[in-house]
Structure 1
């Protein structure tokens, strides 16, 4: 569960966020679109894609990436961008049909034989030391996870989102594309609760994201994932509030020098979200007027 301090910080920021964004849907849409390439690149990088952010931006602009790149990675970028863009205007309830539709888009031209369907009998998957659920039961397990999510989300949305994501990844319902679809679903769930999207970062996946999934698989506790999503949500709220209310945002390093704060201290505060810093193109930024 989200601890009391984190929950209070999120609730306080949400009050500000909702007050300043009530009549600014286009601003929120444009912020989300500026994050599109970074969101796609980071999610694919978690799955070991070699595309840089620059490569991804070129691909989404209809150009070729720099150097020689695997064609599959080009399709992965284009397809995930389509799913993510569709998510921005999605009003459909989160049900199996929508999950399968997005999976079909994600794997189009990559694994057409497996796109848009759950694993079938005999299709076992393993990720390191974790074996995905028996394919015979995958469909029912996903339905059960959705039912529990809907029940839990009415009282504790972030906890429910974290648990659903962990359960989805433990089930590993697809032959391919489980992680990327799972992270899309996080943002679908956040959006359905009036919350901004988050970007799960590839750089620290060995220290936070993967351990949270592994902990859930062996203990049934999603607390680690809940805390990670809480910090990412704080960052997303800080970013949107800053962009909508501040005259200028600056690199965190510049703010630290001007404020007499050591760079590593400022970065650690940013990671813990005890200052309103946020990442743009994987670089920590902050409102210039923050004191």
Structure 2
């Protein structure tokens, strides 16, 4: 039941708060969080580097042999964007301009794009984009002409919801708000020619960060289930909310255990 999971989320958050730690992150823990986030979010998008190779690249600046240049840039740019987000997440605003700015930084190198003609960092899509469901059916996203208004409406809705949070009410809980954004951005609008998944997960987690929660990691072992939940959530995002609740519980437990040990 989602109610029980939200109760557990709130309890874990209170347990972390009770430790009276004067900062959200220990430096070592923060570095692990950023590497894990970068690795997992890019792994979902098909990056082939292992966790060990990713760690060596981002922390020791060791480039794996025979690595694909675009994949290296995906990881390096993602980490740089995360560095900025974690430094400024309290002051970060939810705006269309901010989403475009982070997309521009994330996808700035041509080698990251599978099709040169689609290269458009920081700009909304100019071509239609679709995905193929597991049953073979084509799922279409909004037309390019519909994106600007849809994004304005989405950001307005998110900011309104963030101003009226009640963690004891599932409908107004930060996780529900983050899941709503996640579904609208990725499953309905899909506003960019490429990089939607990484940007969508980044801003989903920014909602959680601003409200005192650690980021959610969607691991490679959960990738198939994650994609299945998209299909199950076309009309009602409850299946994705349930999935992300489990991931948030995992992150909260990881953070609590780390601070208890240290």
| Structure 1 and Structure 2 fold alike (TM over 0.5) | yes
Structure 2 unaligned regions, length at least 5: 133-137, 166-171
CA distance in structure 2 between the aligned counterparts of 1:212 and 1:117, rounded to whole angstroms: 28
Residue 229 of structure 1 corresponds to 244
Q: What is the TM-score of this pair, normalised by structure 2?
A: 0.85
| Cα deviation, residue 149, structure 1 | 2.1
CA distance in structure 2 between the aligned counterparts of 1:242 and 1:104, rounded to whole angstroms: 36
CA distance in structure 2 between the aligned counterparts of 1:38 and 1:199, rounded to whole angstroms: 7
1:1-291 matches, cutoff 5 A? 3-27=2-26, 29-61=27-59, 63-90=61-88, 91-110=91-110, 111=113, 113-120=119-126, 123-128=127-132, 129-153=138-162, 154=165, 155-170=172-187, 171-207=189-225, 209-217=226-234, 219=235, 221-246=236-261
Residue deviations 1:239-267 (CA, integer Å, cap 9, x gap)? 111111137xxxxxxxxxxxxxxxxxxxx
CA distance in structure 2 between the aligned counterparts of 1:3 and 1:61, rounded to whole angstroms: 38
Could you say which structure has the larger radius of gyration? Answer: 1
Q: Secondary structure at the match of 1:205?
A: helix
- CA 1:62–1:108: 2 relative to 1, 3 Å: farther
| Cα deviation, residue 147, structure 1 | 1.9
More helix by share: 2
| Cα deviation, residue 148, structure 1 | 2.1
Residue 289 of structure 1 corresponds to none
CA contact (8 A) 2:85 2:92 kept: no
CA distance in structure 1 between the aligned counterparts of 2:239 and 2:20, rounded to whole angstroms: 30
- CA 1:81–1:226: 2 relative to 1, 3 Å: same
Structure having greater relative contact order (Cα 8 Å, sep ≥ 6): 2
Q: Secondary structure at the match of 2:224?
A: coil
CA distance in structure 1 between the aligned counterparts of 2:220 and 2:124, rounded to whole angstroms: 26
| Cα deviation, residue 80, structure 1 | 0.6
Residue 272 of structure 1 corresponds to none
Number of residue equivalences: 240
CA distance in structure 1 between the aligned counterparts of 2:197 and 2:24, rounded to whole angstroms: 29
CA distance in structure 1 between the aligned counterparts of 2:98 and 2:60, rounded to whole angstroms: 27
